[in-house]
Amino acid sequence: MEVKTSLLDNMIGVGDMVLLEPLSEDSFLENLRKRFDHSEIYTYIGSVVISMNPYRSLPIFTPDKVEEYRNRNFYELSPHIYALADEAYRSLRDQDKDQCILITGESGAGKTEASKLVMSYVAAVCGKGQEVNKVKEQLLQSNPVLEAFGNAKTVRNDNSSRFGKYMDIEFDFKGDPLGGVISNYLLEKSRVVKQPRGERNFHVFYQLLSGASDDTLRKLKLDRDFSKYNYLSLDSAAVNGLDDAANFRTVRNAMQIVGFMEDEVQSVLELVAAVLKLGNIEFKPESRCNGTDESRIKDKNDLKEMCELLGIEQSVLERAFSYRTVEAKMEKVSTTLNVAQAYYARDALAKNLYSRLFSWLVTRINESIKAQAKTRHKVMGVLDIYGFEIFEDNSFEQFIINYCNEKLQQIFIELTLREEQEEYVREGIEWTNIEYFNNAVICDLIENNQNGILAMLDEECLRPGTVTDETFLDKLNTICAEHQHFESRLSKNSKFLTDHSLPHNCFRIQHYAGKVLYRAEGFVDKNNDLLYRDLSQAMYKANHSLIKQLFPEGNPAKVNLKRPPTAGFQFKASVGTLMRNLQTKNPNYIRCIKPNDKKASHIFTESLVRHQLRYLGLMENVRVRRAGYAFRQAYEPCLERYKMLCKRTWPHWRGPAREGVEVLMSDLQVPGEEFSYGRSKIFIRNPRTLFFLEERRRQCLQDLATLIQKIYRGWKCRSHFLLLKESQIVVAAWYRRYAQQKKYQKIKSATTVVQSYTRGWQARKLLRELKYQKRCEEAATTIAAYWHGTQARRELRRLKEEARRKHAVAVIWAYWQGLKVRREYRKFFRANAGKKIYDFTIQRIMQKYFLGLKSTLPSMSPIDKNWPSRPYLFLDGVHKELRRIFHLWRCKKYRSQFTEEKKAVYEEKLEASEIFKDKKALYPSSVSQPFKGDYLEISKNPKYQKLNSAVEEKVLLADVVNKINRANGKGTARIFLLTKKSVVLADQKTGQVKASVPLPDLTSVSVSTQSDGFFALRLKEGSASAVKGDFLLSSEHLIEIITKLHHIGSTTADREQLNVDISDEFLVQFKQDKVCVKFIQGVPKNGNSVSCKRKNNRLLEVSVPTTA
């Protein structure tokens, strides 16, 4: 059975403010506070929902809650936004009435979240299907895109909508969504270029820099650092609880779901990056020769990158920032822009570029989500628009926002009164006029075509001559000074009043929500919203696919000299269209209230809520609802709820519901002036009457609960007694059965035992008889066996004795034959026995030796000197020869593994060993060092490219050596190159060849026995190379150089082998003189290195460190 609930059940405070008693502003606030403290954020005023922002997540938006409110009466459950959404959706689906949901409230009150909840509820309860789900997903995903480009962090709200949004969701006859149309109003584009302290620019800038990949940022020429962009405020760049990187990914995914192509997304991001780059363009002043001021761009790098993004010629845009062309009929006048005008032009372009991009986004989304069918659609409109704004400094934006709210308040009162009147007429109740404040006079003050503030502002912007905010304020003072809702310093003074809270450059308007002080500064410029034609034409020349669509007025072929409509005129027209649209639909209202300015949960600031209560006109709304009848309810639920108060209607009423209600009210003696009967509803005038009924119902329910408890307890006790009685009978029967079974089992068991004992005695008696018979049979068999055994043993002994005798005869005969043979052949045996025994012994020893050697052979490494020890002295020669043979075989196996290059290296190492081993002290340290040859990588190093090309043969060795000077013994660095035909010495720095010596001109090489690297190349006397004498050189790779020289000489058939002279004293021919080079051991002055010093004209002394 379904449990029926009501708005009046389990109430915390009063769920419907119409029922609040007594009604006052204080009681209204106290009721809101009480419900807010208990997490009841929704309260009704009739069919209007008041929504308090909880600033935290509440478990009241789950799928279970959606199902709970689905297809339920508006007042059937506790107040909830789902109830209003369900009522609007069912009215649209079942009654074919177009609906609109108006969501208002100030920034931070939760308007955007409320619109999301309404859309998500409608999406959850409407039909299913692949196409329907796609439409629902596109409608829902349009929100993240518009929020990224149209929302920003403000001091009041971290996700404040800075534009008004009206979405028409279109449904078919079944109530399934077909598509939608979005209209946007007044994007706060001034935020693009400047943000108040503590606020941010639009979300998309921060999301792009935080969430885009490095490759994307590189293509857009952007950097992740926010501080590099003038248009981004730094004091609030990071917001707690806001993940810009994750939100960017969400926006990209939402754009894909809505239907944006990848190139369109890239174009949008390029325009966003261009706006950031535009903010970094700065200007410097310059003076022309004629005395006029002009401006120039300081750093053109950002301008260049912006032009590359948009495909604009840099010179065209640079001129547009420096000059302005004014056209009048057939004349064109070009004037220069000073620095202030240039900055104005830059900011105007940034604002227009971003606002037009936003409008294009809305249009593009509409193309994707619009209904495809051409038939008539049912429409549900959702209006999420800025609430009434009263700041310390109110300007043009607040003025037109408050004008929009005035219009909404006007239509709210009109539609509410019309709805009340229609319901009274429909139910046959007499209608009485209701007194209320009509704010049409305020709307007329603002929008009147002749003397309205907007009309005068447009007139001031369009008239020739000097136009300033002061002239506009003077005009207001002239025309509106006598208006009862307009105040200014001049109008106050003209009435001989003094108001020091009203500055000279301000005016004040008495709105329905209170007085608002507006600063006239900036009204004219913001209303003009002027973009120089030069900038429009420069934008139109861009090669970017999207820019041409955003600036169609820049087309030279379509030049329009008419002044574009002002911002105020456009907004007034769009608000008029919106009002006409709303008047064709059935309205549903959600009034959002912000409980505190700290964006914190559980805090209720009374003064702030009171202020919102006043300017939202909630008290006025309650008074309008209560002017006639405060409460109305259909007869069926009314009778169902209160039928227990009358004996004639309880528990069931068999007649019509209206008659039952009449009987009920008559029995309760409710005064007739407190209620009226309509056609389908009962109307209750005073909430006290309703509370009287509720109190009586509560008492009756308590009495009924007591009666139900009494009857239930009696029934429960009787049922328990009968159950106990029935259980006792069952238990007794089961016990008797159990006792008889136990007795039978005992008798049966005793019988079984007696039978078993009897059968056992009989079996044992039979067993004894059988055993006796078996023992008699076994005794006869045993005796026979023993007798047969005795006979067999006797026969065996006889046979054994006979066999022993025969064997003894054979043995004696064999011994006799052996004796005869030994006597005959004894002489031969004595002559050859020793040699045979010796040969046999030697053979066994050699066999044992070779088998042992096989198992103890050393490793295959040629440097392994291990060898098994010899077992016998006489095997010494064989042992050594086998060791030599094994080593040779092992070396051969090792050599067979060498490649040709490795063989050549080892041949050179072997040759070096033959030349220097035990002769040169430097040799042992060179054994472990491989011969690399080309130490300079001359063929790869571009530094030696010229030198490499000068040498025709292959370079076998390239190294840096020191050429010793005869005059002072000091060395000069030279590049030493060795080929198969010559030795080349070149300058290390320049690579220039200093000397080239053919190898046949070399007769010998002289080196010392010490550990130095000195060597002398001795040249053949009379050769062309010997003109300057021999070469005395020093190198760290001396062993390798001389080995390669010696190897070339030994491998060339037509050349004599090079002699290597190793001595600590040798002569060197320097031109015409011979100098003795002497090597001594000692401690050089410069440490451990070798030093050369000239002693006289005929002696060079080389000091070599003493080796340990």
Instruction: Show which residues are catalytic.
Output: 107-108, 112, 157, 160-161, 387, 389
The answer to whether the beta carbons of residues 360 and 592 sit under 8 Å apart is: no
**β partners of residue 681:** 634
Cis peptide before 464 (omega within 30 of 0): no
The Cα angle at residue 514 between residues 512 and 516, in degrees rounded to 5: 115
Q: Which helix (H) or strand (E) holds 756?
A: helix 687-855
What are the strands, taking DSSP E only, across 594-680? 631-634, 675-677
Ramachandran region, residue 70 (left: φ > 0; alpha: ψ -120 to 50; beta: rest): beta
What would the DSSP string read from start to end of 411-479? HHHHHHHHHHHHHHHHHTPPP-------THHHHHHHH-TTT-HHHHHHHHHHSSS---HHHHHHHHHHH
Name residues whose C-beta falls within 8 Å of residue 806's C-beta, 6 or more positions apart in sequence. Answer: none
Name residues whose C-beta falls within 8 Å of residue 190's C-beta, 6 or more positions apart in sequence. Answer: 351, 397, 526
**Residue type for 66, please?**
V
SS3 830: helix
The answer to whether the beta carbons of residues 405 and 513 sit under 8 Å apart is: yes
Q: Which helix (H) or strand (E) holds 1004?
A: strand 1002-1007
Q: Which two tokens stand for residue 813?
A: 């005969």
Rounded to an integer, what distance in angstroms lies between the CA atom of residue 405 and that of residue 513?
10
List Cα–Cα distances, 598 to 109, 157, 594, 605, in angstroms.
Answer: 12, 9, 10, 10
What would the DSSP string read from start to end of 698-719? HHHHHHHHHHHHHHHHHHHHHH
**β partners of residue 602:** none
Rounded to an integer, what distance in angstroms lies between the CA atom of residue 601 and that of residue 709?
42
SS3 538: helix
Rounded to an integer, what distance in angstroms lies between the CA atom of residue 631 and that of residue 681?
10
Ramachandran region, residue 1091 (left: φ > 0; alpha: ψ -120 to 50; beta: rest): beta
Rounded to an integer, what distance in angstroms lies between the CA atom of residue 684 and that of residue 678?
11
For 287, list phi and psi in degrees, rounded to 5: -110, 135
Name residues whose C-beta falls within 8 Å of residue 576's C-beta, 6 or more positions apart in sequence. Answer: none
List Cα–Cα distances, 80 to 32, 76, 622, 945, in angstroms.
Answer: 14, 11, 18, 87
Length of the chain: 1108
Rounded to an integer, what distance in angstroms lies between the CA atom of residue 530 and that of residue 467?
14
Residue whose token pair is 């447009």: 458
Rounded to an integer, what distance in angstroms lies between the CA atom of residue 521 and that of residue 1000?
102
For 465, list phi and psi in degrees, rounded to 5: 100, -170
The answer to whether the beta carbons of residues 290 and 296 sit under 8 Å apart is: no
What are the strands, taking DSSP E only, across 595-664? 631-634
The Cα angle at residue 57 between residues 52 and 61, in degrees rounded to 5: 85
What would you report as the CA-atom Rg of the chain, rounded to the nearest whole angstrom? 59
SS3 300: coil
